[in-house]
Structure 1
Amino acid sequence: ILTNHDTQSIGDLCIAAGAGCAMLRRLLSSPSTSTSTYAIFPLRRILSAAAPHISPNPSGFAVEEYLVDTCGLTRPQALKASKKLSHLRSPTKPDAVLAFLAGLGLSGADAAAVVVKDPKFLCAKVDKTLAPVVAGLAGLGLSRPEIARLVSVAHCYFRTRPIVSKTHYYLPLFGSLDNFLRALQRSPCLLSSDLGKVIKPNVVFLRECGLSDCDIVKVCIPVPRMLTTDPERVRAMVACAERLGVPRGAGMFRPALQAVAFLSEEKIAAKVDYLKNTFRWSDAQVSIALCKAPFILKKSKESLKRRSEFLFSEVGLEPVYIAHRPIFLSLSLEGRVRPRYYVLKFLKENGLVDRDLSFHTAVNRPEKFFVEKFICPHKEAAPHLAEDYAIACKGEVPTKTKNGPRKLVTAYGTT
């Protein structure tokens, strides 16, 4: 229930809000009106209707409008970013930052992308932060366009001084700026992780495992967390790869390490059981397959199931044959394995190749070799073979499959 003191206070607020609230005050203070009549209305609703709109930025600088009109952000992007820039009182700093980015060669769209990822980039001090960073990177031999590319990927880490020393370390390790940026796009944590306690110990250990810097880069571009994770966990990954039967220094050690990276023991055991059941492998056979192609651990169950059905039902292969040739499980079923099988089957059925020619040989060869060996020599006898193969490699069904087999033209007529 509102007391006389409450109604008087509300009335004072309404007067402060402007003449438009005078009516509400009169209603609340009128002696002919019972205060209990108005007690049923939410007090918050009355006050919010009466209170004047107050800009979140007392200075009058409309941050959200600036982000839309000057930075090129969409309205939803600007609304989200403005929450981190509510302290800005003028466009002075943002204008200086945008001019600096333009001087590096970033387009308006590139600058907008930086702001979306890191709105506080607009608050960076050009003279004390950004300019010294650019000078340090230039001292490493990076050109202004290269530095601009780094800005677009590094975002918030670009406005910290350690980026110079870390880039100095990573460039020789990754071999090129392109490789470094590819890894950085996947894991910006490369610029936040501790070089001395995490990155360098991991690199040293991987080298001790027999990996060259080139091998380390091949592992870390797709899985850059291999460098930024706790060194003890990296050691556990190496031990897991060795338990698959792939020792350090072996040719397949790098793919094995990449395959088990960040997979738990439980998930690896479950995938091994699935492989054994799906391909009818014994313990020895699944070990053979994993030693030759550890990356099949990364294949989805659905993908493995489709391959097993094709290789067993259509091709008629035996489990032991597949175990010793797991390349069948790593190559694209629709884009390579299936189309080449149908070409080989067609050629064998029409006496154009030796019937004992290995399916593995046909599948394992590079595309150029396969076309030159199995397609080009038969242009006259099978003029549509190249076209049908190209269609099949796209995952489509050739006309001959839809409407029956095309007639084979031979030197002795049509069969």
Structure 2
Amino acid sequence: MHARQIKYLPSLQNEQVEWGRVIVMIIIILLLPPFIGLPITIANIANKKNASKTQYYTFFVCIALYFSAINATKVPSGDQIQYLVAYQNVPKLGFLKSLIYIYGADFYSNVSKTTISGEFMNGVYNYIGYYLTLGYYPLFAVLLTFVDYMLIFLGLYQFCRSLRKPHIPIVCGAITISFFYLFFNYTLQIQKQFLAQSIMMYVLGNYAYHGRMYKKDWIIAICAVFTHAATLLFIPFLLFKPLHRPLSKNGLIMMGIVFAVMVISGPQMASSVTSDSNSALTYGVNRLAQSETNNDTQESALVLSQILVIALPMAVIIGRKLWIERKTLSNSNAFMLNITMLLLLTIAAMFKQPLAQYRYFMMLLAFMPFIYPFAFNNINKRDKLLKIIAVVMIIWFYYQFEKIVWTYAAEWEIIVKSPLLLIADNYYTY
């Protein structure tokens, strides 16, 4: 099995999704209270031994809609206000200026600005999204959140198809990431980064499964980079072919050392080539050059409990698989483990760049459902663990919900009110 591309669900690749059935289920879930609709949604897929592509997609869409509806009730605050104002400015600014003023306040502080933002895709999303949602911001929040979750779900679906008996990893993985409160509460707060990473997770899942980048994958990856510059980190992973296979011990050591040195010295190297220009093409380099001084004391400190609960288990799993069991890995397995290892090294090496370090740490969250299936080689033990994690995440989400620093609908409302009512009731007051 060493260094082979193994695909356990090839039959689903060309299967057509029955969108009529998906739409019927969407309508039912939108109308039912979540305490009825959610159990139906989960039970409908969890008990399937040979789930179809249609059933997986239905599950993904219904789960994504539920969390999108909750986000529709979020009262804008902090960074989100900038994104809200940029959205509201669309009719006033038009398309081109929407690419320049991706932050709302910028328009009022610098009306003569002419340089297109290095993350101009956010202006594209605002412009298209404004007219798709008829200027109703809660509906835009729904659309944005829905895209976030669906892209990760689809990337996970593709990747897990290369695992043995992938059904539980797919279902429990989607539940784990969607109900993880820490992931959820940042989807609108730092929406550029989370949208960009969701786009990139879709690309990574596709590349891991297929073993190659298609033209559409490159286009999508480029969209991710121009959505948030931090995703530029993943482009070398897609270009460096050896990462798509298990590395030798010497290869792992050399790769780790070289990569860590590059991350540590990155700001100095970027400073030597950067310029005063802040064009779309130089934006990422300028951000890297400023990363050691661009700190936010409110966001830039890693939390020890999060390191122990999120990073440490992933590091243990990855270390065991890549160091001890590397000869048992398929190419798809090795690729996802390799890039997660490099992401962990990036975070560790950014000790002089606390804000960037924290932002990259947040990226680890989306990798959890991709890495947890490697905790056990035994399928029964693996599936039991994934089910336990999924159940814990559901319980923890509702336990933590009213402790989230941002304001949403009351907890009883997100349990009792149908998603349609959550979207229709205008909770935001900005």
Same fold by TM (over 0.5)?
no
* TM-score normalised by the chain length of structure 2: 0.21
* TM-score normalised by the chain length of structure 1: 0.22
- Which structure has the larger Rg over C-alpha atoms? 1
Task: Specify which structure has the bigger relative contact order, considering alpha-carbon pairs within 8 angstroms and separated by 6 or more residues.
Answer: 2
